[in-house]
Amino acid sequence: MNQDIKAYHDALPEDYRVIADTLYNEICNALPEAEHKIWHRHPVWFLEGNPVTGYSQLKDCMRLLFWSGQSFDEEGLAPEGSFKAAEARYTDVSQVNKKDLKRWLKKSKDIQWDYKNIVKRKGVLERLK
């Protein structure tokens, strides 16, 4: 784990740190080729410069976000924002269904919208995969 992500985890309350550690390990195992770093103050994984997944502490939960998640057509993921993102929220590590998470992570590789170039395209998303 790089030092920036470790510092992010170390700053979390214990219950959320356990969730973050679980998410981190599952994401790294499923996306070993992905670059991961702190981006906009929370851990995010990128494939070829395009953000695909990440997590962050909200006031009352840990949020797992998939930038293209609305296209996954999956129960357990709720639409987030005005683009194609979807999220799952957790208040306890027991809520993390690893079977679902592995399936979502596979879809995050196979189904991507081009967030990397969204500014250049003036807010228009194009499907990559």
- Can you point out the beta strands (E) in the chain? 35-39, 42-47, 50-57, 62-66, 78-79, 86-90
Mean pLDDT of 59-87: 94
- pLDDT tops 70 at residue 10: yes
Q: Which of 72, 100, 106 is nearest to 86 (CA)?
A: 72
Q: Where along the chain do its domains lie?
A: 3-110
Mean pLDDT of 45-74: 96
Tens digit of pLDDT for each residue in 17-26? Answer: 999 999 999 9
Output the average pLDDT for the chain.
Answer: 92
The pLDDT of residue 57 is 97
Q: Does domain 3-110 have CATH number 3.40.50.2000?
A: no
The pLDDT of residue 112 is 85
- pLDDT tops 80 at residue 94: yes
The pLDDT of residue 81 is 85
Q: Which of 66, 54, 75 is nearest to 111 (CA)?
A: 66
The pLDDT of residue 121 is 63
- pLDDT tops 80 at residue 123: no
